[in-house]
Copies of this chain bind each other. A is one copy, B any other.
Amino acid sequence: MANQVESVKTYLEPDLLDRMHRYWNASNYLTIGQIYLQENPLLREPLRPEHIKPRLLGHWGTSPGLNLIYVHANRLIKDKDVNAIYLAGPGHGGPALIANVYLEGTYSEVYPKISADSEGMRRLFRQFSSPGGVPSHVSVPTPGSIHEGGELGYVLSHAFGAVFDNPDLLAIAVVGDGEAETGPLEGAWKSVKFLNPARDGAVLPILHLNGYKISGPTVLGREENEEVSQLISAHGYEVFVVEGDDPKTVHQLFAETLDICYAKIRACQEDARQNGFSSRPKWPAIILRTPKGWTGPKVVDNIPIEGTFRAHQVPVSDVQNNPEHLKILENWLRSYKPEELFDEEGHLLPELAELAPKGERRMGANPHANGGKILVELDLPEFKGYALDVKHPGTEHQESTRQLGKYMRDIFTRNADQKNFRLFCPDETNSNRLGNVFEVENRCSVGKIIDIDDHISPDGRVMEVLSEHLCQGWLEGYLLTGRHGLFATYEAFAMVSDSMTVQHAKWMQEGIKLPWRAPISSLNILLTSTCWRNDHNGFSHQGPGLIDTVLSKKGSIARIYLPPMPIACWRSRIAASAVKTMLT
Contacts and interface: CB of A to CB of B under 8 A. Distances in A.
A368 interface: no
A317 to B, nearest CB: 14
B234 A539 contact: no
A506 B531 CA distance: 13
Contacts of A235: 231
Given A151-B496, A470-B183, A539 B139 contact: yes
A71 interface: no
A467 B183 contact: yes
B456 A538 contact: no
Interface stretch (A16-24, A128-136, A563-571): A128-136
A495 B506 contact: no
A447 B537 contact: no
Interface of A: 55, 57, 94, 129-131, 134-137, 139, 148-153, 178-179, 181-190, 193, 213-219, 222-223, 227, 230-231, 233-235, 304, 308-309, 427-431, 443, 445, 447-448, 450, 452-454, 456, 464-470, 492-493, 495-496, 498-499, 502-503, 506, 509-510, 535-543, 545, 548-549, 552
Nearest to A544: B552
A309 B230 CA distance: 31
B541 A150 contact: yes
Nearest to A194: B219
Contact of A548 (B137, B213, B552): B552
29 contacts: A129-B536, A131-B535, A131-B536, A139-B538, A139-B540, A148-B540, A151-B493, A179-B466, A181-B465, A183-B188, A183-B467, A185-B187, A215-B429, A215-B430, A216-B445, A216-B453, A217-B450, A217-B456, A218-B466, A230-B230, A231-B231, A231-B235, A308-B452, A309-B452, A495-B502, A495-B549, A498-B499, A499-B545, A545-B549
A151 to B, nearest CB: 6
A282 to B, nearest CB: 11
Contact of A215 (B431, B447, B549): B431
Nearest to A224: B448
Contacts of A308: 452
Nearest to A176: B466
B153 A183 contact: yes
B183 A184 contact: yes
Name which of A216, A227, A443, A548 has the most chain B CB atoms within 10 A of its CB: A216
Given A182-B467, A233-B234, 14 more contacts: A137-B537, A150-B540, A179-B466, A181-B190, A184-B187, A185-B187, A186-B189, A186-B190, A231-B234, A308-B452, A495-B498, A506-B539, A545-B549, A548-B548
B540 A149 contact: yes
Given A187-B187, A216-B443, A222-B447, A539 B135 contact: yes
